[in-house]
Structure 1
C-alpha cells in the first residue's frame, strides 16, 4: 500500500558522514516526532507547528509519471542520494540546519500493469497521496521543499498549497517544456493543465522554454491565454527578455525547477543546451520573491537506459541550500 514514511532520528543519523572537528546539517535538522506518526492521517497541524523549523523537506522517489508520458525511467533514483548530499553539507554561519525539518518520503508501489493507461491511473493515486500532506505543511505555516520524482507531482504541490491558502496560486516554472499537454490521463507532461482546469493555478509563469520542444498546440495556448506567461530560452540567448517577468508573481506562488532545463544534468529529457547550474543558483539566491514551496523534479542518478551521474545529488543539495538561505 502507498504510504508516507516518516523519518526517525536514526533514519537521519545513518546518513551522516561524521568527521572530527566538523558538524553537518544532518546533525541539526529536526524530525517530526509525535508518538506513533506512521501514517499521513497522524501528521497534525499542531505537530508541524510545534517545530521551530521553517522548511519541511520530503521526497517523492517515483518515475511512474515519467513513464506514463513515454519517458525514460530513473527519477525514482534521486531522493536518497540527494538527501545524503544535503545532510552532509557543513553546518556553519551560512546555514545551520535547524531551519529544516526532514519529514520523510512517499513509498509508492508499482502498478501491476505497466500499460500507459494503468500508469496514468496510478499517477492520479499519487496525486491523492501527496496533496493532503502538502496542504497540512503549508497550513502549518511551513514551506515544503520536495525532491522528486517526475514533474507530474507539480499538480499535487499546487493543489495542496492552493487548498491551504483557500485560493488559486501562481507558479514560476523553470523548464524547457511547458507541461501543458492534454487532459488525457495524468502524467509528467500535464500537471499544469490539470491545475489550471481545476482552478488551483491562477497565473503560470514559464521561464526558459525551448522553441524546439513545445508543440504548436501548446504555443497557441500560451499566445491565447492571459494566464500563461512565457520567456523562451532561445530569446534569452538573443538577449531578448522581459525585464519585469518575475515581478508579476502574486504574493502566494510556488517555485518549480525541472532539472531538464539545466544543460548536461541527467534526466529523461537531458539537454546539451540550457541554463548552467550557476544560472539557476544565481536566480534562486538573488530573487527577492518569497515562495510558498520549492519542487525539484525530473533529475536522476541512474536511468533505465544505463546512463549514470553522481553529480545530480550534489546539484540538488546546492539548490535546496540556496533556496533555504534566500528564503530564510
Structure 2
C-alpha cells in the first residue's frame, strides 16, 4: 500500500534474533510483507500495530522534535518481550510505519510555524487512509509515535466504520486538553476539530496539569459539560475516582464505543514533546491503562508524543516504557 513502509520478515530479522529454549514476541508476531490490505485479509489479526514517525504536529504546536524516533525505539523493546504464562501475543500484526519522508522534507522548507498546518492536514489524510483498512476488518489498531495531531485522523477513521447508531467517546490521559483553536492543524487541537466536525460524542480528559491549560480553553470546557469532562493531577486525584467519574459521564450514551488516547507527556521526567518533571510514573501509567481497558474495552489505543533523542539510553528507556504500556493494553483488554 502506498504511504506505508511495511514491517517485513526481513526487517524483523534485523531487530530480533531467536534464542533457543524461549519464545519471544518477535518469534510469533505477524509481519506485513508488501500489501497491507492483502495481509489483513489473509492473517485476520485481532490487533494491528502502526507507527507514525513524525514531529511535524508537535513542531506546529511549538513543541520539541523527536516524536519521529518513538516507533523505532519501541520495536526492539516489544519484540524482545517473552511469550509466557503471563503474555501470549497471538494474532498481532505489525503493519509497519507511515511513510513520512516527503512530508518531513517539505516541513523543513516552511518559514512560518502556522504553515506546518497544511502539511499536518496532508498527514491526516494518509493516516486515515491506512487505518481505514484496519477498522474495516474490525481489528484494533495500536498507533505509536508521532504527535497528538494524529488523534484526529484516527477518530475520523474509527467513526467511519461505526454503526450509524453508534457514538465515539474518547478517554484521554493528558496534561493538556488539546482543545486549542482550529486556526490550523497541529498537535494541540485534534479534539477541537473532532468536536467541530461532529465525529466526537463525549470527551473525558484525565490527569491534566492546572498551570498548563489556558483560561480560554478551561472556560470552553466548563461551558460544554454535556460533551466534555475533565480532572486534574492533584492531591485528590485517584484512578478509582477517575474511572468512576468517566463511567458515569459515558453511561448515558447508548450504543457507544471508546477510543483510548494516552499522551506520553503524562509521564514525569520522560523524553516527550513537552518535557515536565511532574506527572505519572510508568508503573502508574500502566495501572491506569489496565483500569481503562478493563472498564471500557477500547476500540483503539494511541500512544503519541514520546520524543527520544538519538541518545541510546533515551531510546532504550522510551522503547521499554512504550512496550510496557502496549503489553498492559493487550493483556487487559477483554
1:92 aligns with 2:84: yes
Alignment of 1:77 onto 2:82? no
Give the aligned partner of residue 40 of structure 1.
none
Distance in 1 (CA, whole Å) between partners of 2:216 and 2:136 is 36
Choose the corresponding residue for 2:282, options 277, 300, 303. 277
List per-residue Cα deviations over 1:196-245 (Å, max 9, x = no partner): 11111110000001110000011001100120110111253499945622
The answer to whether the Cα contact below 8 Å between 1:29 and 1:99 also exists between their aligned partners in 2 is yes
Larger % of helix: which?
Answer: 2
Answer yes or no: is the 8 Å Cα contact 1:136–1:164 preserved in 2: no
Q: Distance in 1 between matches of 2:161 and 2:238?
A: 40
C-alpha separation in 2, matches of 1:261 and 1:106: 24
- Bigger mean CA deviation after superposition, 201-210 or 262-271: 262-271
CA contact (8 A) 1:205 1:228 kept: yes
Q: Does 1:202 align with 2:193?
A: no
- Preserved contact between residue 301 and residue 310 of structure 1 (Cα < 8 Å): no
| Rounded Cα–Cα distance in structure 2 between residues aligned with 1:310 and 1:106 | 22
Q: Unmatched 5+ residue regions in structure 2?
A: none
Give the match for residue 261 of structure 1. Answer: 266
Q: Cα distance 1:239–1:310, how it changes in 2: closer, same or farther (>3 A)?
A: closer
Aligned to 1:50: 42
Given the superposition, is the C-alpha separation of residues 74 and 307 from structure 1 closer, same or farther in structure 2, using an over 3 Å criterion?
Answer: farther
Partner of residue 104 from structure 1, selected from 92, 96, 108: 96
Cα deviation for residue 70 of structure 1 reads 1.0
1:131 aligns to 2:128 (yes or no) = yes
Q: SS where residue 78 of structure 1 aligns?
A: helix
Asked whether the 8 Å contact 2:69–2:145 carries over to 1, the reply is no
Q: Secondary structure at the match of 1:27?
A: helix
5+ residue gaps in structure 1? 38-42
Whole-Å Cα distance in 2 between the matches of residues 274 and 56 of structure 1? 29
CA apart distance, 1:77? 1.0
When structure 1 is superposed on structure 2, of 244-253 and 206-215 the one drifting more is 244-253
Q: TM-score, normalised by structure 2?
A: 0.89
Question: Equivalent residue of 1:221, what SS?
Answer: helix
Q: Give the structure 1 partner of residue 181 of structure 2.
A: 182
CA–CA distance in 1 between the matches of 2:239 and 2:303? 27
Corresponding residue for 1:153?
A: 150
Supply the RMSD in Å over aligned alpha carbons: 2.3
Q: Check 1:285–1:237 CA distance in 2 against 1; reply closer, same or farther (3 A cut).
A: closer
Deviation at 1:278, TM superposition (A): 1.3
